[in-house]
Every structure is written in structure tokens, then in C-alpha cells.
Chains A and B, each alone.
Chain A
Amino acid sequence: MTGRILAIALNTFREAIRNRILYLLLVFAVALILCAQTLSLLTVGSEEKIIKDFGLATIDLFGVLTAVLMGIGLVSREIERRTVYVLLAKPIHRAEFVLGKYAGLVLTLLVNTAIMALCFVLLLLAKGIFDPGILLAIALLFLQFLLITAIAVLFSCLSNPIVSCILTLALYAVGHLLWSFDLLRARLAAPWARALCAGLQRLLPDLAPFDVKGQVVHGIPLPPGTVAYAFVYLALYGGAVLALACAAFQRKEMQ
């Protein structure tokens, strides 16, 4: 089973690294990270914070863009191009196909994030800055990319790339604003509306545990268990989303 998932993952990775969009995103990301140096010259006294903030935000943005742009077509494009016929006619489970595609994109994101992180760390070292917290923040961002990819894969199993893109980006935005549901609930009078609000808050992805950019940039210590919580949340929520994707693909007709 793992052999077949690995074969599909390696093929997906191969497809990604032969895709010009990936290189375009990567070049833009690296260029922006290097721009942080120029941007920091415009400020007085907080040069290090600007570089860190801008660099981490760039890695976040381009990591999410890569996850979304490549994830949304991961399954649907195979169906649309009909390349899926010959794969699913092989003795493989459909879940293996979905997990293989997911693993392939995870591998792509790992390489992508590693390159961006390397450029960023080299820039910081050139400025004489060394902060292990930066690496932790990037690692947590990477975990966030894994969750976004799982969501994109789910939508890719259910819908076309355009709808998948809109829904995934919407969930990404909502995932960073989930705290606002508490404020909304406090303002709601009807019990059913409050219950609905609480239900949605639990159902929608919470991306806050993966975002420690602010704390790292301002040198605020992270609460204990932050990393462990992010890992557990990713395993449970991401696992559930992938299980749903596999279930949706299991009965999908290859028209």
C-alpha cells in the first residue's frame, strides 16, 4: 500500500517540479524576501523586526498560494485530463490515489518552504541576526500549509478548480479570523444563533495555532505546548479532512 502511495506521491512531485508556476512563485517569494532588506532601510530603529516580519509574511503568503494553486487541481485536473482512468484501472485503492497526491504536494511544499527558509535565514545571518524562533515560526507555517493542502484536496475531490480555489481561500481567511466568532456570539441575542455561531467556530479550521509570527518578531515567548497543540490539531483536523476527501472520491464517477 505504501509503495503505491509513494509512487503516486513521487509522480505528483515530479509533475510539480516540471510546472513553471512553482518556479514563478518561488522566484517571486525569494525576490520579496530579499526586498525585506531594502524595506528595512526606510524605517528607523526597528530594522530587524521589519526584516523578520516581512520575510515570515512572504513565506506565509507564497506557501499558502502554492498549496492552494497546486492543491485545487490535484485530483480534479487528473479527472479533467482523463489521466486518472489508467491509474484507477490499476490495482490501487482510490484512497491511495488521494493520499498519494496529497503526499506529493506535501513533498513539494517541503522543498519550496525549505528554499524560502534558507534564503531568509541567509539574509538574516548576513545582517548578523540569528534567532531560532524564526525556524520555529516557519515550521508552524509549514504545518499550516499541510492543513490548507488537505482542504484544497477535499474541494478538488468535490468540485472544479475555480470553486475549489474560492472556497479554500475563503476558509484560509476565516481560519485566521476565527477569534471574531467570540465577539459575534456575544452580540447575538437568539440562543439558536449563538449555538450556530459556536458550531461554526468548532467546524471551521482554526489557523491561529500555526501563526506565531507576531510573537517571534517581537520576541514574546510562546506559551508552553504551542507546538504540540499545532501538531495535534493538524493531525486531527487534517486527518478528518483527508478522510472526507477519500470518502468523497471513493464513490466519484469517472465520467
Chain B
Amino acid sequence: MAVLTLEGVAKSYRTHLSLRKYWILKDLSFEVHPGEIFGFIGTNGAGKTTTIKLVLGLLFPDAGRIRLCGDDPSRPEARRRVGFLPENPYFHDYLTGWEFLDFHARLHGFRQPERRRRVGELLERVGLKNRADRALRLYSKGMLQRIGLAQALLHDPDVVILDEPMSGLDPIGRRDVRDLILELKRRGRTVFFSTHILSDTETICDRVGMLVRGRLAAIGSVEDLVRGDVGSWEVTLAWPGPGSPPVGEVLSRRDDRILLRIGSQADLHRLVGSLNGGGARLVAVTPARRSLEDLLVQEVRGSADAAGERRP
């Protein structure tokens, strides 16, 4: 059974004194399966945070049905086994790190000495044990993200929902978050996270959902999404002569080696056909697959064109 199901979910909002509805999400349907890392990608304003708020019962859908751990997200029971880290962690900054985690452990119903044990463990795990008695308003962005992760993992949840967990972090912070997500997967937990940092998504996600202007533009494994989408080829030739090959864009030239970019299969055939003497020979052909970023850019542009908008 899926840990998270969305069926035909739509969400709109109205500005003050306006009768016009602005649609943030339209007909959104997908599932997240147990034990997988699901990346929810999209540009800013695509509706990722709105989707997460709907999933957690912070907002209510205009249409459609959401099931979190088999229950309606507005019921507390649905959120019992869920950990959540919001985008740009906004916490009670008058609390110290220890007080903050202790408060959240109380909300999960932990009593002493279990509470003290868990808080200590989590502070150790996120590397904040030495800063536990410092007020959160004195924490850096990275430290806030880490204490936020600690509160999300306090009760060892089965499902972890992270909203932009890597945004604003330095490379080391991003790597720590990435390692933590992978560790959760190793322990059989389900991770659902939104991001617009696509390089991380490609390396750690089992599946990806791509949100473009409130609609699910694509869903599947990273390999499935970019499979067969070979946009070009990089060809290395041994080319002893002075001139250039008849097709392709020369990317680099060193000694007798030329690195070319070939844009189409027909050009590739022409190039191979032209290598019939003069010492020229084929050394390597590497298909340059499209990245998730290429796919996202294409989907966003396609969506903008369909909406009749001008692109810069």
C-alpha cells in the first residue's frame, strides 16, 4: 500500500476582495511507495510547498483526495508516523536547541527519561550537542536546518517529508542532508522531499515527480525520465591532418585528437562514413544524455508556450 496517495487534487486561492480564483494545483495525482526516496521537483512557485501543506493537513484541497499513511491528513493519526521539516525553518527562536527538541518530544508523548535520551541522541546525530544550550535565534541557517531535521526524526518516523531541505546550505551541509536521506532509506524509511537542486535529486532519488505550473509534468525513475533522450553525441577522433571533420562542432583539439559534438544521428552516420583513409579513425562515441535539468527546462518552456507567454 502507498504511504502517500494524491488523486485529482486541486487547490486555488483568492486574493483579498477578489472573486477570481488562482489555481496553484490542478488534477494532481501520484503515489509514494514505502521505502523509496521520492523527489518532488519544480521551479519556484510550481506548487511544491502547497502540495506538502496539503499532504500534512495544513491546507485543505478544493477537489480530490489525499491519503497519508492510509488516513485523511487532517486527522492527527495520519501524522503519527510522519516527520516534517518545513522550508526555511521557522522555529520558536527564544528556545534553546535542547528546549526546542524537548518541547517537540513532549508533543509526541515521550516521557522522561525517554525524552532526555532521544533529545540527546538526536543532538549528537545532527552535530549540535555542543550548541544545545544556545538560543535558536543565535543559530546559523545550517544549524537551524540541522535542528529542524532533528525534530523531524525525534520519533523515528516511517515517513519523512522535507520541504527544500538543501536550499541555502553550503556544499558540506547539502552533503550531510543527502547522506541522512540515504541513511533513512537504508533503514527502510520513506523520504518525500521537494527541491529545485536537481543534481542531488538525480543521484539519490528512486523516483521523481516533476511539477510544472501546478500540474504533474512527469513522474518515474530518473533513468526512465531521461531514457532514450540522447540529445547529442560526443565523438573523439584521431585526426592527424590539419583540417576539420565535415560535420560537428569542435569542442577541443590536442595533438591529433579532436573532440566533436554531433547533434543528430544522421550527422553521426555521415561522420563515420567520412572516416575512410588519411589516418583518421574513431576513438570513442559517448551519447550525451539529457539531465533532469534539461527535461525540467523543456517542460517549463513547453508549458509557457502552451500558455502563450513570452520567454526572455
Q: Please list the residues of chain A having a beta carbon within 8 angstroms of any beta carbon in chain B.
A: 3-4, 6-8, 10-11, 14-15, 18, 81-83, 85-93, 251, 253-255
Evaluate whether A92 and B76 lie within 8 angstroms (CB atoms) in the complex, with A14-B99, A15-B94, A254-B59 already known. yes
Stretch at the interface among B32-40, B84-92, B191-199, B224-232: B84-92
CA A253 to CA B104, docked complex, whole Å: 22
B contact residues, range: 20 to 34
Partner of A81, one of B60, B80, B84, B90: B90
Please tell me if the beta carbons of B57 and A88 are within 8 angstroms of each other in the complex.
yes
Please tell me if the beta carbons of B109 and A4 are within 8 angstroms of each other in the complex.
yes
Partner of A83, one of B57, B79, B90, B109: B90
- Smallest CB–CB gap between B33 and chain A, Å? 21
Please tell me if the beta carbons of A85 and B90 are within 8 angstroms of each other in the complex.
yes
Please tell me if the beta carbons of B107 and A15 are within 8 angstroms of each other in the complex.
no
CA A89 to CA B92, docked complex, whole Å: 15
Please tell me if the beta carbons of B79 and A91 are within 8 angstroms of each other in the complex.
yes
Residues in chain B near residue A10, CB distance under 8 A: 103, 106
The 5 nearest A-B residue pairs measured at CB: A7-B106, A82-B90, A254-B58, A89-B84, A91-B76
9 contacts between A and B (CB under 8 A): A3-B109, A7-B103, A10-B106, A86-B89, A89-B161, A91-B107, A93-B76, A253-B60, A254-B59
Interface flag for B151 (CB, 8 Å): yes
Within 8 A of A (CB), among B95-115: 95, 99, 103-104, 106-109
Residues in chain B near residue A253, CB distance under 8 A: 58-60
Interface flag for B128 (CB, 8 Å): no
Interface flag for B6 (CB, 8 Å): no
Closest to A254 in B: B58
- Smallest CB–CB gap between A216 and chain B, Å? 38
Within 8 A of A (CB), among B38-85: 53, 56-60, 76-77, 79-80, 82, 84
Residues in chain B near residue A254, CB distance under 8 A: 53, 58-59
- Smallest CB–CB gap between A71 and chain B, Å? 18
Please tell me if the beta carbons of A83 and B91 are within 8 angstroms of each other in the complex.
yes
Residues in chain A near residue B56, CB distance under 8 A: 85, 88-89
CA A14 to CA B92, docked complex, whole Å: 11
Residues in chain B near residue A7, CB distance under 8 A: 103, 106-107
Residues in chain A near residue B108, CB distance under 8 A: 90-91
Residues in chain B near residue A81, CB distance under 8 A: 90
Please tell me if the beta carbons of B103 and A86 are within 8 angstroms of each other in the complex.
no
Partner of B107, one of A4, A14, A18, A82: A4
Q: A83-B91, A91-B76 are in contact. List 9 more A-B contacts (CB 8 A).
A: A11-B103, A81-B90, A82-B86, A82-B88, A82-B90, A85-B56, A86-B148, A87-B107, A88-B56
CA A82 to CA B86, docked complex, whole Å: 9
Interface flag for B13 (CB, 8 Å): yes
Evaluate whether A83 and B92 lie within 8 angstroms (CB atoms) in the complex, with A89-B58, A91-B79 already known. yes
Please tell me if the beta carbons of A88 and B106 are within 8 angstroms of each other in the complex.
no
Please tell me if the beta carbons of B60 and A90 are within 8 angstroms of each other in the complex.
no
Partner of A11, one of B80, B88, B90, B92: B92
Closest to B109 in A: A3
> Which of B60, B84, B107 has most A Cβ within 10 Å?
B107
Against A, the Cβ 8 Å flags (1 = close, 0 = not) of B248-282 are 00000000000000000000000000000000000
- Smallest CB–CB gap between B22 and chain A, Å? 12
CA A251 to CA B80, docked complex, whole Å: 20
CA A105 to CA B161, docked complex, whole Å: 32
- Smallest CB–CB gap between A147 and chain B, Å? 27
Residues in chain A near residue B161, CB distance under 8 A: 89
Please tell me if the beta carbons of B13 and A255 are within 8 angstroms of each other in the complex.
yes
